[in-house]
Structure 1
Amino acid sequence: MTDHRQQAPAAARNRDPILAVLRGVLPQAGTVLEIASGSGEHIMHFAAAMPGLVFQPSDPNPEARSSIAAWAADSGLANLRPPLALDAAAPPWPVTTVDAILCINMIHISPWAATEGLVRGAAVLLPPGGPLYLYGPYRRAGVATAPSNEAFDRDLRGRNPAWGLRDLEAVAALAAAAGFSGPAVTEMPANNLSVVFRRG
């Protein structure tokens, strides 16, 4: 039998620091949509740790969805839904009600249109006060948070000119224009940031 479970080494390293932040961000009950779930390791970990929430993974990539489904089947978690085919940049999204949205390590490995779509979709779906949680490396005031991030940015742009680290201020301006609060920022290991916007 083929094992479709993918493994991302970074997920094992950052899932617990992310979870620690999410415990103070997510509601006690409701549905949490993850955009660009990738291998599925993050959302499986969060679903196991927070059984009072329902977690809805999604990804535009069929191979990623196969991995998510395989991890979900292996976990046996009742609060982890089957993955949706969802492209952040392509409305309408195939989901109608969510209480929180997560997006981990997507906006720097996708065109800016995906970030625009993410914010636009979150503004449509989230209730007032609902959190949009973003995680990853950023520039702040036009400066990368660490030399390693600057090298990462060069690598990303070498692979695809439409990719690269985003300015936190540009993301915050996009969110503000869509009716979100200013960002609540938490410094994370490995020069990453947790960034939380709440819908006004």
Structure 2
Amino acid sequence: MPDALFSPAAARNAAPIVEVLKRVLPSRGLVLEIASGSGEHAAHFARALPALVWQPSDPDEAARRSIVAHARAAELANIRLPLAIDATRQPWPVTRVDAVVAINMIHIAPWDATIGLMAGAEATLPEGGILYLYGPFREDGAHTAPSNAAFDDSLRARNASWGVRDIEAVAAAGRAHDLHLVERVPMPANNLSLIFHRGYRGSAVDREFTP
């Protein structure tokens, strides 16, 4: 697969992520993945969740070629060709999906990408639709582990607009677009899964992260 890219992180975290996705995603429907990267996750998730159709996307052309390579190698009918989506640019080239997934995206992008992700998810998800985020987050203004603090420093050294985000700020950005944090799931390597519902209000988790 000459165009295929490989990510050690994607290989490590695919199995624990899919266990959460099996529980929180709808049993059937269309899932849009924003910033699919290498495409390894798309192939793994489509294989593990055969009743869901997986729509990968990435703004980077090399990433999209890699997604196609992994999808072809997987020989799965429920992976679509990748879309060129920049989360900051609205509207997205898809009008309606049942869930939106973004893994290890918002800390390797400017804050505008988080705002764009929320806006795009609001526009494409139905009432009760799921937005799933995965990655490291700060809580109560602090990192949850020294390794996350070191990772944050390395990100900001590469690009001053990147960095591990405060979960409270992410939850607030979601609420501004009718996306409400309903579950926080601890994951391996000091990461979190955050599950948002569109139009769902009154969650104890959402109240916890409301100023």
> 1:27 and 1:53 mapped to 2: Cα distance?
8
Contact residue 29 and residue 53 of structure 1 kept, 8 A: yes
Match of 2:92 in 1: 93
Deviation, 1:177, is 1.5
2:137·2:165 contact (CA, 8 Å) conserved in 1?
yes
Q: Distance in 2 between matches of 1:31 and 1:4?
A: 26
How far off its partner does 1:183 sit?
Answer: 3.9
Structure 1 gap ranges (5+): none
CA contact (8 A) 1:39 1:67 kept: yes
- The answer (yes or no) to whether the contact 1:172–1:183 under 8 Å persists in 2 is no
Q: Secondary structure at the match of 2:106?
A: coil
Number of residue pairs the alignment of both structures matches = 199
Calculate the TM-score normalised by the size of structure 1. 0.98
Q: CA deviation at 1:92?
A: 1.1
Displacement, 1:36? 0.0
Task: Give the corresponding residue for 2:104.
Answer: 105
C-alpha distance in 2 between matches for 1:16 and 1:128: 28
Aligned to 2:150: 151
Asked whether 1:82 is paired with 2:66, we answer: no
Runs (4+) of structure 1 moved beyond 6 Å?
A: none
Q: Is the Cα contact below 8 Å between 2:101 and 2:132 reproduced in 1?
A: yes
Residue 97 of structure 1 and its aligned partner are, at CA, apart by: 1.5
CA-to-partner distance for each residue in 1:176-197, whole Å, 9 max, x for gaps? 1111223410000000000010
- Going from structure 1 to structure 2, the CA distance change for 1:158 and 1:183 (only over 3 Å counts) comes to farther
Compared CA separation, residues 117 and 40, structure 1 to 2 (3 A): same
The alignment's TM-score, normalised by the length of structure 2, stands at 0.93
For residue 24 of structure 1, give the secondary structure of its aligned residue in structure 2: helix
Instruction: Tell me which residue corresponds to 2:202.
Output: none
1:74-104 deviations in Å (ceiling 9; x for gaps): 1110000000000000111011120000000
In the TM superposition, what is the alpha-carbon distance from 1:145 to its structure 2 partner? 1.1
- Counterpart of 2:72 in 1: which secondary structure? helix
Secondary structure of the residue aligned to 1:118 is helix
Q: What is the CA–CA distance in structure 2 between the aligned matches of 1:78 and 1:180, rounded to whole Å?
A: 30
Retained in 1: the 8 A contact 2:181–2:194?
no
Please name the residue that 2:193 is paired with.
Answer: 194
Listed as ranges, the matches of 1:27-66 within 5 Å are 27-66=26-65
- Runs of 5+ unmatched residues, structure 2: 200-211
Q: Name the Cα RMSD after superposition.
A: 0.8
Q: Give yes or no for contact 2:95–2:123 (8 Å, CA) kept in 1.
A: no
Q: Say which SS state the counterpart of residue 133 (structure 2) adopts.
A: strand
CA drift of 1:11 comes to 0.8
